[in-house]
Amino acid sequence: MNQRFTFTPLPKPVEMDLAKLDPYTLNCLMGAGTLSSAGPTLAVLAAYGNDDDGKSIPLVLIVLNPFLQAMFQMGVATIEEDWYPAEDLMPFFPIGLETCPTLLLGSRGMGKKERVELFTEFVATFEDGKKEHELVMLFPGEPGYRLCAKMGVLSAPLDGGRKRILKPRAPKGPMGTRQAQAFATLQLKSRAIRKELDAFLDYWQAATDRFADDGGRKEQVMGMDDFFKIFEVLERTLDIPSK
């Protein structure tokens, strides 16, 4: 979809029924995911509704985690001839995420330049941005090693099975503009998206398996089958590279 919008935030989010999501009227504008062995989180901002007649429609936030799934109306979207995603979507950052995401998903309706500009502004809003930037640059395309680094296992493989110990400086604070642009450019590459998404799915499965092993009830967690039912709707308008 190539609709172009302007957005008006609501005074406060309004919860909606995710179970009643209409898959045919959702136009995803951006998505981002954080990876964690305790349970990854995917957040997607989308225009939602039949906009053929040019009326205003809800701007919604969908948040998916193995243990919590929700949808909120965050604002109102109105079709316009011109729009500037990096500027127009800024009032809705950080779209429900508490830590800097490494899985960055652009809209099919945006060009490469628009995506980089949008996500440069987006990742620059996170207070742990510099730390995440350093880990991504130390372990490009290797989300598993980054998770080990966060857990204190700071090593990377060398030839012959040997390892070298890495000691990140773990700087504090948000990324600067140049760091954010480099981060967004790297993480929006097809290979990086595929690596991050594969790790995201692995961590989701691991979290649900661990929950079951600990005696948790099936209805208390979203399994992979239910996740994919929603994800298949999202990927209709998110640009997700094939394997």
Tens of pLDDT, residues 78-116: 877 667 788 889 999 999 999 999 999 999 988 999 999
Cα–Cα distance list, 235 to 26, 44, 229, 230 (Å): 10, 11, 11, 9
CB-based contacts of 47, cutoff 8 Å, min separation 6:
3, 5, 26, 27, 29, 57, 58, 59, 60, 77
Note the pLDDT of residue 72.
Answer: 97
Q: Following CA atoms 130, 135, 140, 141 in sequence, which dihedral angle do they give, to the nearest 10 degrees?
A: -110
Integer-rounded Cα Rg, in Å, for the chain is: 18
Taking alpha carbons only, the member of 23, 95, 109 closest to residue 62 is 95
Query: Is the dihedral angle over the CA atoms 163, 167, 168, 170 positive or is it negative?
Result: positive
Question: Are 144 and 199 spatial neighbours (Cβ–Cβ below 8 Å)?
Answer: yes
pLDDT tens for 147-174 read: 877 776 655 454 455 455 556 666 789 9
pLDDT tens for 219-238 read: 789 999 999 999 999 999 99
Note the pLDDT of residue 158.
Answer: 47
Gap between the Cα atoms of 62 and 44, Å rounded: 5
Three-class DSSP category at 5: strand
Query: Is the dihedral angle over the CA atoms 198, 199, 204, 205 positive or is it negative?
Result: positive
- Tell me the pLDDT band of 51, cut-offs 50, 70 and 90: low
Q: The pTM is what?
A: 0.90
Which two three-digit tokens encode residue 92?
Answer: 């809705």
- Tell me the pLDDT band of 45, cut-offs 50, 70 and 90: very high
